[in-house]
Amino acid sequence: MNIFRKKNVDQLLLEAEEQPNKLKKALSVFDLTALGIGGIIGTGIFVLTGIGASNFAGPALVISFIIAGVASAFAALGYAEFASMIPVAGSAYTYGYASLGEIFAWTIGWDLLLEYGLASSTVAVGWSGYAVSLFSAIGIDLPAWAINSPAAGGLINLPAIFIVGIITCLLTVGIKESKWVNNIIVVVKLLVIILFIAIGTSHIQVSNWHPFLPFGWQGVMTGASIIFFAYLGFDAVSTAAEESKNPQRDLPIGLIASLLISTILYIIVTLVLTGMVNYTQLNTPAPVSFALNMIGNHWAAALLGVGAMAGITSVLLVDMYAQSRILFAMSRDGLLPHTFSKVHSKFQTPYRGTWIIGILVAALAGFTPIKVLAEMANIGTLFAFVIVSAAIIVLRKTKPDLHRPFRVPFVPLVPILAILFCLYLMYNLPIITWIRFIVWLILGLIVYAIYGSHHSKVQLEDDLS
């Protein structure tokens, strides 16, 4: 048994075309860019800006966002090269299979399942926070037991479970319907962000930016590690490769454009937010609405609360979509049970895997605090970026003649910088996050040894030949 066996790039492309379980091609370059923005802009602006500023970086959170954005940009170039070269569902999992071998593919796929599951749960809890604030604003106070996890003094977070159920149903119906919902939501949340910037700019007090580095440089780096979760969405664009109409051209554009637009908005919003309100007051699940309420602009706070809920909804849609496609790819390769790649005869979606994911995400969102979820999602994201960057270097050496519609510039310098950035951010995460992550990877290797290695389609084809 060869755990380092690889999938040929031509074989991957052929399999995607000839598989009976085919996904519907429905996404344009605009849809892919909107998918990326939908996945990136949401919880990062509407939730994590407050947590990051008050607990880790203060006004210097803007530097944290720049550092995380630069690290993401280096990694995004690697994703763009792979996505244009191998436009197949599975993202980093598929790229690892083609360049590093099956055991690396399994490890990154298993990691991505955790990453997106935790990210989706984090987003659902953030959505719940805004929903509760909105209900409170109109005079409806929901009982504490129904809106908080046990660790937060409640019994269950019902709003979080509710939104996960809605998204699961939408993803079951189809990608065409999902993309229109996402595109509309993206336009709405961009408009409310522009509204916040327009109102907030005139209420900036420079004194709120002092001290600029209250937690020192270490706080900036820890903040970058925590809010890195905000950039997860661009990875989701590459999971849509098999449903893209013209993946070789459109995927690199969608990846880079969505990351660039989102990073600029993150920087501006963070500057405005920390200029409006002192960072010590921002430890709230709805910091942007809180800032508008602090300056007495209650109508804008209410409107932004609705926009934030819409924005966070699109992040949840993108994250759960990406997770279901990775599960689909791993199942189609035989590394996980076949039932996860079963495509609905009418909707052409992997409906069984989607519902299993929905149930697990709802359970996590209902019973786990947001801080624990966000930290775990971050380490998984960073690990995925390290693997993809390393895979670029390996494949350039082993397969230099492959057709690459998009090429990462200055290889191996750019991938090495991506690896170093991501490893340093991983180093700054809490030790308990590392322990949970390592336990998850060990569990994954046990599952691979018991099931995946024996049911791998590549292994079975090798045995027959």
Per-residue pLDDT tens over the stretch 379-428: 877 888 898 899 899 889 988 888 888 899 999 999 999 999 889 888 88
102 Cβ neighbours under 8 A, 6+ residues apart: 2, 3, 4, 5, 6, 335, 453, 456, 458, 459
Q: For residue 147, what is the DSSP state? A: B
- CA 29 distance to own-chain centroid: 19
CA atoms of 405 and 168, how far apart (whole Å): 34
Q: Could you report the per-residue pLDDT of 314-328, keeping only the tens digit for each?
A: 888 888 988 888 899
Return the amino acid letter for 229.
F
Q: Kindly tell me the sign of the dihedral angle through the C-alpha atoms of 226, 229, 83, 260.
A: negative
Q: For residue 45, what is the DSSP state? A: I
User: In the numeric block, which tokens belong to residue 5?
Assistant: 């066996």
Q: Could you report the per-residue pLDDT of 425-442, keeping only the tens digit for each?
A: 888 888 888 888 899 999
| In the block, residue with structure tokens 């942007």 | 288
Whether the CB-CB separation of 327 and 353 falls below 8 Å is answered with yes
| Residue of higher predicted confidence among 153 and 451 | 451
Q: Could you report the per-residue pLDDT of 29-53, keeping only the tens digit for each?
A: 888 898 888 888 877 787 778 888 9
CA atoms of 353 and 271, how far apart (whole Å): 41
Answering whether pTM is above 0.75, one says: yes
Q: What is the mean pLDDT of the chain?
A: 86
**Of 226-240, 253-267, 335-349, highest mean pLDDT:** 253-267
Give backbone dihedrals phi and psi of 244, rounded to 5 degrees, phi first: -90, 140
User: In the numeric block, which tokens belong to residue 410?
Assistant: 């200055």
Identify the architecture of domain 26-464 in CATH: Up-down Bundle (1.20)
What's the confidence (pLDDT) of residue 148?
84
pLDDT surpasses 70 at 465: no
Share above pLDDT 70 across residues of the chain, in percent, rounded to a whole number: 95
